[in-house]
Amino acid sequence: MKMKTLFLFCLLFILTDKIDAASLSDFYPFGMVNGDRRAPTNDDGSTEPIPVSTSFPFFNYQHDSLIVNTNGVISFLGTMSTYTPSSFPLPSKRRLIAPYLADTDTRKGGDVWYRESTNLTLLGEATGEIHEIFPEHFNFHAAWMFIATWDNVSFFGSDSIGQQKKCTFQCVLVTNGRHSFTIFLYDKIEWTTGTASSGDSTSGLGGTPAQ
């Protein structure tokens, strides 16, 4: 099996691996044609809490719902409207998974997609990747996954040139009900900072960059 993981993060054991480039063909399938729901177009917004069919273990808690936030974060205790990243760990008691915390503004372009899945083919693919990265977890078999994709999203304050710069990344939550992993995938990262975080409106760079 071709390994497509850019950044695999074991939630329970706080382990990290390597970062490389990926292409859209490496992403888990996403978009309306694959049964995704689309988050509302907004700046600093969030979905309503999304009930999930399998509890997701995170920080010694079993979570039966989650929130997909436009600014590149999946949260569990409430929405996340913060647009200027702070160094982790954050001072408040937040439970967050942040593939790309930055000032995303889908009014300027792009979509945020999400769905849960128990598709056996996808679960088998995720299981294989986790076995390859973490061979010590050879008994792990994924039973549930949640796929969130930020597709060609723009940044806050972008001008007509800046709106041509896009970011596309994906966060996949995987669990067997006891152990949890996330898979981070990045297709393109063309900006890091919105203007409210002192970024440049044309380049999308500078200021306080994404985390």
Whether the per-residue pLDDT at 169 is higher than 70: the answer is yes
Share of the chain above pLDDT 90, in %: 82
Question: Is the Cβ–Cβ distance between 28 and 22 less than 8 Å?
Answer: no
Cα torsion at 85, 87, 92, 97 (round to 10°)? 70
Answering whether pTM is above 0.85, one says yes
Lowest mean pLDDT of 79-88, 153-162, 166-175, name the range: 79-88
Question: Is the Cβ–Cβ distance between 144 and 175 less than 8 Å?
Answer: yes
Q: What is the DSSP string of 121-178?
A: HHHHHHHHHHHHH-GGGTT----EEEEEEEEEE-BTT--TTGGG--EEEEEEEEESSS
In sequence order, what are the residues at sequence separation of 6 or more whose Cβ sits closer than 8 angstroms to the Cβ of residue 61? 76, 95
Length of the chain: 211
pLDDT digits (tens, 9 = 90+) for 15-27: 333 345 678 889 9
Question: Is the Cβ–Cβ distance between 178 and 130 less than 8 Å?
Answer: no
Whether the per-residue pLDDT at 157 is higher than 60: the answer is yes
> How do 180-189 and 37-38 pair as beta strands?
unpaired
pLDDT digits (tens, 9 = 90+) for 40-69: 999 999 999 999 999 999 988 999 999 999
Whether the per-residue pLDDT at 13 is higher than 70: the answer is no
Whether the per-residue pLDDT at 14 is higher than 60: the answer is no
Whether the per-residue pLDDT at 93 is higher than 70: the answer is no
Place 37 in a pLDDT band, splitting at 50, 70 and 90: very high
pLDDT number for residue 124: 98
Q: Domains of the chain: which residue ranges?
A: 37-197
Structure tokens at 43: 């700046």
Rounded Cα distance, 48 and 154, in Å: 22
Lowest mean pLDDT of 80-89, 109-118, 181-190, name the range: 80-89
pLDDT number for residue 5: 37
In sequence order, what are the residues at sequence separation of 6 or more whose Cβ sits closer than 8 angstroms to the Cβ of residue 120? none
Whether the per-residue pLDDT at 111 is higher than 80: the answer is yes
Helix, strand or coil for residue 43? strand
Whether the per-residue pLDDT at 129 is higher than 50: the answer is yes
pLDDT number for residue 18: 38
> What's the mean per-residue pLDDT of the chain?
89
